Amino acid sequence: MFPNRERIIEHYRQVLATNDEQLTCCNPVYPVQEVPEDIAIHSLSTLQPLNHCAINPNDRILDIGCGAGADCFLAAYRGGRQTRIIGIDIVEELICRARELKQKHNLRNIEFIHAEVPPLPFENGTFDIVMMNYSFHLIEHKSSILGDIQRVLVTGGKAIIADSFTPRNLYTIAGEGNWFMAAGGAIAEEEFKALSKSSGLLVEHFIQEHLPFLPEGQVIGYMICKKK
């Protein structure tokens, strides 16, 4: 059972407060040398979707569940000023922090939107790239978000979904804290591929991450999808 909207928001408010206290990046693969330190500290996942996608100068990029914008900022620095990036998140405090960092570092090609998804508040064929960095498992209606991703992508556009892809029954959820830490909303690799196919997204390949600290049976990695 998914935690309600208010619990998800409260959890990530607490994450933001912890970041502000520790002032250090906890993501061992985030390229901290490419962005200012006050941006890097807000990268929380152990995954890096932009390592699996080339960014062209005029690309339009959407980050769903962007948090305080770490991946959006990285895309802006890698793609240059002609790249257009939008980050969207349910947690208002995270979006406010992202907007503060955008203004501080004068990154005018990024926009941050506070909204609940799905649905995505964009027109058909708006983006060349859509990414989700460990936020897919937080979405209860997974077929709806995949259908929306397909809709807002241009033909031939790519989606990079970085997350856990593990059957829900692998976990014994003993409270909401464990739900968040263990990605309790994750689905299996084959289920994701079936949902993607029915949504009009072709999974080109799955890149699995082999991390030594993962619990037995947990699979994380990158679903690289293309709009048919």
For 5-61, what is each residue's pLDDT tens digit? 888 899 889 989 988 888 887 787 889 999 999 999 999 888 999 999 899 999 999
In which band, very low, low, confident or very high, does the pLDDT at 181 lie, cut at 50, 70 and 90? low
Residue 22 φ/ψ, nearest 5 degrees: -85, -30
Please tell me the predicted confidence (pLDDT) of residue 22.
83
Q: Output 145 or 217, whichever has higher pLDDT.
A: 145
Please tell me the predicted confidence (pLDDT) of residue 177.
59
Cis peptide before 119 (omega within 30 of 0): yes
SS3 assignment, position 85: strand
Residue that the structure tokens 């959820």 belong to: 173
Q: Is the pLDDT of residue 2 over 80?
A: no
Contact at 8 Å (CB) between 66 and 72?
A: yes
Sorted by where each starts, the structural domains of the chain and their CATH numbers stand as 5-227 (3.40.50.150)
Close Cβ partners of 135 (under 8 Å, ≥ 6 residues apart): 64, 65, 163
Q: Is the pLDDT of residue 88 over 90?
A: yes
Please tell me the predicted confidence (pLDDT) of residue 185.
85
Please tell me the predicted confidence (pLDDT) of residue 172.
54
* Other Cβ atoms within 10 Å of 97 Cβ, number: 21
Q: In terms of DSSP H, where are the helices of 88-181?
A: 92-104, 142-152, 176-181
Please tell me the predicted confidence (pLDDT) of residue 3.
65
* Other Cβ atoms within 10 Å of 169 Cβ, number: 7
In which band, very low, low, confident or very high, does the pLDDT at 211 lie, cut at 50, 70 and 90? confident
Please tell me the predicted confidence (pLDDT) of residue 5.
83
Distance CA 171, CA 148 (A): 28
For the ranges 3-7, 180-184, 220-224, the maximum mean pLDDT occurs at: 220-224
Distance CA 99, CA 67 (A): 11
Q: Is the pLDDT of residue 213 over 80?
A: no
Sign of CA dihedral 114, 119, 124, 130: positive
Distance CA 154, CA 61 (A): 11
For 148-174, what is each residue's pLDDT tens digit? 999 999 999 999 999 999 876 655 554
HSE-CB for 144 with a 13 A CA cutoff = 9
Q: For residues 90-95, give the mean pLDDT.
A: 97
Give Cα separations from 108 to 23, 74, 105 (angstroms): 25, 14, 9
Q: How many helices (H) and strands (E) does the chain have?
A: 7, 7
